[in-house]
Amino acid sequence: MNININADIGESYGKYKIGSDPELMTLIGSANVACGMHAGDPTIMTKTVSLAIENNVSVGAHPGFNDVWGFGRRQITMDPKDLEYLVTYQIGALQAIAEAQNIKVTHVKPHGALNNMAHDIEEYAMAIGRGIKAADKDIIYVANCNSEMTKAAAKLDLRVANESYIDRRYDDNGKMLSRTLENAVITDPDEAVEHVLRILNDGAIYSISGKKIPCKVDTFCIHGDEPTAVPVAKAIRTAFQKHNINVVSLPELIA
């Protein structure tokens, strides 16, 4: 089996360091690079792209709301057109930095509150999709399984990678649990392995109440800002190796 692991990465800002990017980059297939709105800056973006190239990891944009103070995790109500342009703007910034190093931006994964809102709100999901298409019609839309984003990708004829999470639990609607809840994040490596293998074996995600929600998963995300990201990712890679599951980049997986 081939599968992708993606990580939200490059989320430091100026002198403020977030995550263990050099080590995490060795454990993933695709990098979602913050584009300067919720985190990241031109220097961090450039260094993160270089790090991805060194590790043969595909580069994607990780656009979010203009919310450095809240790390992009505060919901913002926007006109869908404004959101569309905001997404294209962030992709374009990363495209320029990536092309300077002779690599293309091949996917887009929305960040934080933007991702959560687009899970349910068709207008936001479509705005993100239009923003992607304006930048490059061949870019892969990384979208939560069974979300409005997956539907938007189909409507806009964009390639889509159905996403689940290594380090997050779900509610009965198939959405990630709110970070306001203490049990929202999976930090134990063994529990993360059990969680991911169950999703792959059963073709479904499970809510904390035990509800089974069938879905097809192409890629698993890990959050690079979590202190446990590296040990959890290492445990997942060891388990994948044991079960003959190959980690590949998104362009390799999504033909």
CA neighbor of 104 nearest in space, from 251, 255, 254: 251
Q: Write down the pLDDT at residue 255.
A: 81
DSSP one-letter string for 147-184: SHHHHHHHHTT--EEEEEESSB-B-TTSPBPPTTSTTS
Q: Write down the pLDDT at residue 122.
A: 98
The structure tokens listed for 33 are 């690079």
Q: Write down the pLDDT at residue 247.
A: 98
* Class of domain 2-253 (CATH, top level): alpha beta
**pLDDT tens digit sequence for 7-35:** 999 999 999 999 999 999 999 999 999 99
Element (H, E) at 185: none
Mean pLDDT of 71-78: 97
- Single-letter code of the amino acid located at 30: S
CA neighbor of 145 nearest in space, from 160, 130, 132: 160
Q: Are 124 and 112 in contact (CB under 8 A)?
A: no
Burial class of residue 234, CB neighbours in 10 A (0-12, 13-18, 19+): middle
The structure tokens listed for 230 are 């590296």
Domain ranges of the chain: 2-253
Model-wide pTM > 0.95:
yes
**pLDDT tens digit sequence for 124-139:** 999 999 999 999 999 9
DSSP one-letter string for 190-223: HHHHHHHHHHHHHTEEEBTT--EEE---SEEEEE
Q: How confident is the model at residue 232 (pLDDT cuts 50, 70, 90)?
A: very high
Q: Write down the pLDDT at residue 228.
A: 98
**pLDDT tens digit sequence for 86-123:** 999 999 999 999 999 999 999 999 999 999 999 999 99
